[in-house]
Structure 1
Amino acid sequence: MRAELLDHLALIVQEEATDSAAPKTKISVLRKVTEEQAAAIQAAVKDLYFFTSGEDLYNCYQANMVELLDSVMEFAQLHFSNRQKMSDLLDEMSFSFSRLLLNLLAMFRSFLDHGSAALTRRFGIDSPEFRAWQAAQSAEYDGYVSYRFFSNLRNYAQHVGMPPLHFSVDQSTEREGIRIGLDFYRDELLSNYSKWSRHAREDLINGADKVFLLPLLDEWSHCFHRLVRSIQSIRSDAVMASVEKILSVRTEFKVGLGGSIAMMPEPKISEAGQLNLGIRYLPEHKAQEIAQGTFLNALKDY
C-alpha cells in the first residue's frame, strides 16, 4: 500500500502566551508542491537519520557512562549517611556496579555493530568508507590497552557472566573522605575465560595483579570518542546533500524566516468532523547543526 503523500507545505507559528491567554499555534498552509518535489523533500528528511542514528547511539553510551560514574558518588554518599547496614550496602552496590558496566559494554558493542551495518548497507562492504571505519577500530585496538581490555571483557560478559568487578572502601584518618577502589583480579579473569585475544591476554599477564577500572574507563572513553568522530564524519559527508536540500526549502518556495516549516497531506475532515492535518516538521534545526558541524566540533579535542 502506497504511503500517504505529504504534498502541502505549511508554516507553523506559536504565539507567545499573555497574562490572560495560553499560547496559540497558527498554521498556514502555504502551497501544494508537486509529487516530485514532495518526494525529494521527504527523501532528504529520511536521509538525515543516517547521521542522527549514530548521534543517538553516542548519547545512549554517554548516558550509561554517566550513570555508572554517578553510582560511585551515590555509594560514597550512602556510606557517609549510614542509612543502610554496610553489608547490605556492599551487596547492593556490587550488583549495581556490575550491572551498569554490563550495560555500558553492551551499548558500546551496539554502537560498533550498528555503525558497521549502516555503512555496509549504504556503501558496501568493499567501499572506502567501510574500510576507513575498520581501520579506525583497528587503530584503537592496536594502540590502547583499555580498548583491548573492554572489547574482550564484553565477550567475557557474553560467554561467562556479569563482569567480575570488585570494590573496596578505604577510609583513612589521615585524609578527609573515602577512597573507593573498583578493580578486577587478573587471575580471576584469566581462569574464568580462556578466549582472551592474544594481545589482551599478554596485557593481563604482564600487568599488575589488580586491573583498576576508573583509569581504564577514562582512556577507553577517549578511544570511543575518536571512533564516534570517525564514523560521524563519514555519515556527515554522506547526508550533506540532504542537509542542503532541507535548508534550501525556504528559499526555493519563498518562505520567510519566522516559524517552522512542515509537510502535510491534503487536509481532510473526518466523519466526526475533526480536521486531520498529519503534520510532519522539517528538521531544519538538526540540518543546520549538521551543516555547521556542531556535533563533530564537540569531539575535536579527542
Structure 2
Amino acid sequence: MTREVTYRLASVTREKYTFLRELSHKQFDQYVGQIKRLHILQAEGKLFKLIELNYQDLREKIENYRFYKDDSEVFDLGFIYLDSNRMVLNFLSSIRTYLDHTETRLKRKYGEVSSEFQLFKNVTSQCFDSSFAYRFLSKLRNYAQHCGLPAGSISLTSDEHGNTFTLLLERDNLLANFDSWGKTVKEDLKQQKNEFDLMHLIDQKFKLLEYVNKIISDHEYRKHYSDARELLLLMKEVNQESEGAPAVMQISTIGDDYSGASLIIHDFPYEAISRASGIKITVLPPI
C-alpha cells in the first residue's frame, strides 16, 4: 500500500495529540512558513539575553560584596578584585558579540541598503556620539583584551549609611597603557577624575543597549504582524475546542492505520506571536 500524507490543525498535550481539522497542502505550507519565520525571529532575540544575564550577575555580585566584612573567613580582597573583573569582562564581551552578530545578521538577512541595517547603524552611531559611557566601554573592551583588567582597583568603605563597594578606573594608567582609544575617547578620558566609577558607566551603557535592541527588534516584529495575527486565529480556534497547545502537523500513514503514523509537528512561538501581534498571551496551554 502507498503511504498517504495529510495535514491537520491539532491540539497537543503531554499525553496525546488531537486532530481538529484537515488542512490543504497550501494552507499547511503557509502556516509552517509563518511559524518558522517567527521562531527564527524569536531565537534571534535571545542573543541580547546574554547581555542581560551578565549585567544582572554583575549587579548582584557588586551588591553582595557590599556586605563582606574584614573579619569574615570568606573575605579575600584579591579574589574580589579578580572576580569583579571577570564579571565585567563577561559583560563587555557579550556586548561585542551582540553588536557584531546583529550587524552581520541584519546585513545578510536584509541587505546593506535595507531600512533594518541602516536603522541599526544610525541608532548605534547616535549612542556612540552622544554618550561617553557607550563609546568609552566599547574601547575599554579592547583595552582589556590587549592590556589588562578593566577595573584598576576596588574600594570597600563604610559610613553611617552602610557599606559601599566601588569598581574604580584609573585615568592615568588607562591613558599610559593603551594608545588606541581614538581621538574622541582619549579627550573624554582626560576630562575624568584620576579615579572614577566603572559601574556608573556600565549602568548607562546597559540602558542604551536596551534602547538599541528595542528599536531594532520592534522594527523587525512589525514586519510580521500579519503572520502573527493569522496564527493567533488558529490558536483561538484550538483553544475553543481543546485544552492542548496548538500545532500544525504533517501525518504520513499507510491506509487508515494511524498506529504507525509518522508525524512532523510544528509548535507555535508564543512569545514572538504575542510581540508581533500586540496581543498579550497570558495563559499558555502545556505541551
Give TM class, smaller chain. 0.7 to 0.9
2:222 equivalent in structure 1: 237
2:60 equivalent in structure 1: 70
CA contact (8 A) 1:145 1:203 kept: yes
Question: Among residues 167, 175, 190, which one is paired with 1:205 in the alignment?
Answer: 190
Provide closer, same or farther for how the CA distance between residues 131 and 160 of structure 1 changes in structure 2, counting only shifts above 3 A: same
| Aligned-pair CA distance for 1:278 | 4.6
CA contact (8 A) 1:6 1:263 kept: no
1:42 equivalent in structure 2: 32
1:160-198, Cα deviation, whole Å (9 max, x unpaired): 3432442011124xx152221211101111122110021
CA contact (8 A) 1:50 1:118 kept: no
Provide closer, same or farther for how the CA distance between residues 67 and 77 of structure 1 changes in structure 2, counting only shifts above 3 A: same
Q: Output the TM-score relative to the length of structure 2.
A: 0.83
Give, in whole Å, the separation in 1 of the partners of 2:88 and 2:232.
41
SS where residue 275 of structure 2 aligns?
Answer: helix
1:181 equivalent in structure 2: 166
1:22 equivalent in structure 2: none
Letter in 2 for 1:118: R
Question: Among residues 83, 92, 95, which one is paired with 2:73 in the alignment?
Answer: 83
Letter in 2 for 1:43: G
1:270-289 correspondence runs (5 A): 277-284=263-270, 286-289=272-275
| Aligned-pair CA distance for 1:240 | 2.1
1:252-278, Cα deviation, whole Å (9 max, x unpaired): xx5453432113332669xxx887645
Letter in 2 for 1:244: R
Letter in 1 for 2:220: R
Question: Among residues 156, 174, 181, which one is paired with 1:196 in the alignment?
Answer: 181
Give, in whole Å, the separation in 2 of the partners of 1:34 and 1:274.
22
Q: Identity, % of aligned pairs?
A: 24
2:112 equivalent in structure 1: 125
1:23-42, Cα deviation, whole Å (9 max, x unpaired): xx342122442332222212
Provide closer, same or farther for how the CA distance between residues 208 and 11 of structure 1 changes in structure 2, counting only shifts above 3 A: same
Give, in whole Å, the separation in 1 of the partners of 2:101 and 2:191.
34
Q: Output the TM-score relative to the length of structure 1.
A: 0.79
Where does structure 1 lack aligned partners over 5 or more consecutive residues? 15-24, 295-302
SS where residue 68 of structure 2 aligns?
Answer: helix
CA contact (8 A) 1:50 1:239 kept: no
SS where residue 251 of structure 2 aligns?
Answer: coil
CA contact (8 A) 2:32 2:266 kept: no
| Aligned-pair CA distance for 1:79 | 2.6
1:115 equivalent in structure 2: 102
CA contact (8 A) 1:51 1:239 kept: no
Over aligned residue pairs, what C-alpha RMSD do you find? 2.7
CA contact (8 A) 1:247 1:284 kept: no
| Aligned-pair CA distance for 1:290 | 2.8
Say if 2:80 is the partner of 1:93: yes
Question: Among residues 169, 179, 182, which one is paired with 2:156 in the alignment?
Answer: 169
SS where residue 77 of structure 1 aligns?
Answer: coil
| Aligned-pair CA distance for 1:243 | 1.5
SS where residue 18 of structure 2 aligns?
Answer: strand
Give, in whole Å, the separation in 2 of the partners of 1:293 and 1:228.
20
Give, in whole Å, the separation in 2 of the partners of 1:210 and 1:224.
25
Give, in whole Å, the separation in 2 of the partners of 1:242 and 1:91.
54
Say if 2:8 is the partner of 1:8: yes
2:213 equivalent in structure 1: 228
1:300 equivalent in structure 2: none
Letter in 1 for 2:9: L
Provide closer, same or farther for how the CA distance between residues 67 and 256 of structure 1 changes in structure 2, counting only shifts above 3 A: closer
SS where residue 125 of structure 1 aligns?
Answer: coil
Question: Among residues 275, 278, 283, which one is paired with 1:292 in the alignment?
Answer: 278
CA contact (8 A) 2:247 2:265 kept: yes
Where does structure 2 lack aligned partners over 5 or more consecutive residues? 281-287
